[in-house]
A = this chain, B = another copy of it.
Amino acid sequence: MPVEIREVLENYKDYLGQDLVLEGWVKTSRDSKNFGFIQLSDGSGFAGIQVVYESDIENFKEIAKYPIYSSIRVEGELVESPGAKQPIEIHAKKITPEHLAESDYPLQKKRHTFEYLRTKAHLRPRTNTFQAVFRVRSLIAFAVHEFFQKRRFVYVHAPIITASDAEGAGEMFQVTTLDLNNPPKGDDNKVDFSQDFFGKHTNLTVSGQLQGEAFATAFRNIYTFGPTFRAENSNTQRHAAEFWMIEPEMAFADLEDNMNVAEDMLKYIIRYVFEHAPQEMEFFNSFIDKGLIDRLQNVVNSEFVRITYTEAIDILQKSGHEFKYPVSWGIDLQTEHERYITEEVYKKPVFIVDYPKEIKAFYMRENEDKKTVAAMDLLVPGIGEIIGGSQREERMDVLVEKLKDFGLDEESYSWYMDLRRYGSVVHSGYGLGFERAVMYITGMKNIRDVIPFPRTVGNAEF
């Protein structure tokens, strides 16, 4: 394989004066009577390289007419280019077309709206914005893995197809191989799912947490990182039907430990991206979200605040601020409340803990006050909630009561209760919506623009 352009740019001093063969796509092209310039990109890094050719090159006139995004092969010398944006350029000796793009290429030079680019999801990663977004997405994913693997957490693939509903709520996608035009029916004239592929009714998972808990009682520290699904009919900038979740689960760890890991993780990821994608971060800061870099640097350098829900309610009530949703103890905090606390009051990330038990999931550990549970939400400036977690209820008797209170069937949680029957331990975990993290770190505002091929209501193209 010919050398990658990223490699040449990063270590150009090693290549200066050498004849190189490069392959890539024509990003821009301009020419005058005696010269031509091509911005050549091979996607290996954010920047392309400038190719200069002179009128004595073979096919001078044809080269100037190569359509945008034609793939070409360039042979030439790497030379210094004083005064230019890049310190070097290729002085071409031979340029050969590999494939000339058709001239109706849908992404010509002029700017396109993100809406339009969504209709070209197979081509948009070729644009600067989406080059940056999807490379950073990849780096964040790897940073997550590296963070947990360094701490020896075991990566667990939770099942995607499931017969249970982790949250005891949530609208789910059904999975079936039945002939939907003519499904088998039982005596009650209802569909007979015992004849379906798995012998029962199955759905796409909404969370891997419960399975993660099982593995935490074997490996102490584990994490999941996989796709999850919500069949919510909501058409917002923040909701997708298919998204990825990271769910660590830790045995012998309480809520405090949980917050420590979440804080360390978020800082690790941000630092990793700054280190591995400085050009992309500069791009976002200049063109997508001015102030992004300062905001993220502030997160890395802050100690996160930790307050209780009761304190948060108190702060909101005494703030004198007019909220659209009135504040009183027992309400679920709205984004406006969350953002007020993290952006106006503290100006840095804030953990809120100990929420009223009625507004949180059944598996969260009940506190001594019997009114609150050991839940935690992490709020960050610019976005609001980014992580939600809790210490889990490890006491068998309390959990049985909770299942009843939530109207859940104990029988279908029987294996989950086994984790309390045999060697139950204090344990905790949290969930990070991966796309929300990508939006937060890139400054992109619509979840459709951080997912390669987004799935939302009415949209499963490509």
Identify the stretch in A170-178, A291-299, A314-322, A379-387 within 8 Å (CB) of chain B at 4 or more residues.
A170-178
Whether a CB of chain B sits under 8 angstroms from the CB of A169 is no
A154 and B126 contact, Cβ closer than 8 Å, known pairs A99-B423, A190-B181, A423-B99: no
Task: Bin chain A's interface residue count.
Answer: 35 or more
* B-contacting residues, A409-428, CB 8 Å: 415-416, 418-426
A 255-280 to B, binary, CB cutoff 8 A, 1 in contact else 0: 00100000000000000000000000
Whether a CB of chain B sits under 8 angstroms from the CB of A407 is no
Whether a CB of chain B sits under 8 angstroms from the CB of A197 is yes
A71 CA to B220 CA, complexed, in Å: 12
Q: Which residues in B have their C-beta under 8 angstroms from that of A197? A: 173, 231, 233, 241, 457-458
Whether a CB of chain B sits under 8 angstroms from the CB of A2 is yes
Whether a CB of chain B sits under 8 angstroms from the CB of A221 is yes
A292 to chain B, nearest CB (A): 21
CB–CB A452/B217 < 8 A:
no
CB–CB A241/B161 < 8 A:
yes
A231 to chain B, nearest CB (A): 5
CB–CB A423/B455 < 8 A:
no
Q: Kindly identify which residue among B135, B394, B461 contacts A219, using a CB–CB cutoff of 8 Å.
A: B135
Whether a CB of chain B sits under 8 angstroms from the CB of A84 is no
CB closest chain-B residue, reference A457: B197
* B-contacting residues, A128-161, CB 8 Å: 130-131, 134-135, 137-138, 141-142, 145, 149, 152, 154-161
CB–CB B122/A419 < 8 A:
yes
CB closest chain-B residue, reference A183: B180
Q: Which residues in B have their C-beta under 8 angstroms from that of A310? A: none
A 430-462 to B, binary, CB cutoff 8 A, 1 in contact else 0: 000000000000000000000111010111111
* B-contacting residues, A2-53, CB 8 Å: 2, 4, 6, 23, 25-26, 42-45
CB–CB B125/A215 < 8 A:
yes
Whether a CB of chain B sits under 8 angstroms from the CB of A199 is yes
CB closest chain-B residue, reference A231: B177
CB–CB A44/B257 < 8 A:
no
CB–CB B123/A422 < 8 A:
yes
Q: Which residues in B have their C-beta under 8 angstroms from that of A159? A: 242, 452-453, 455, 460, 462
Q: Kindly identify which residue among B145, B175, B424 contacts A175, using a CB–CB cutoff of 8 Å.
A: B175
Q: Which residues in B have their C-beta under 8 angstroms from that of A2? A: 252
Other 9 A-B pairs with CB < 8 A, given A161-B241, A161-B460, A174-B175: A71-B424, A105-B422, A134-B156, A142-B145, A157-B244, A158-B453, A159-B242, A159-B453, A162-B460
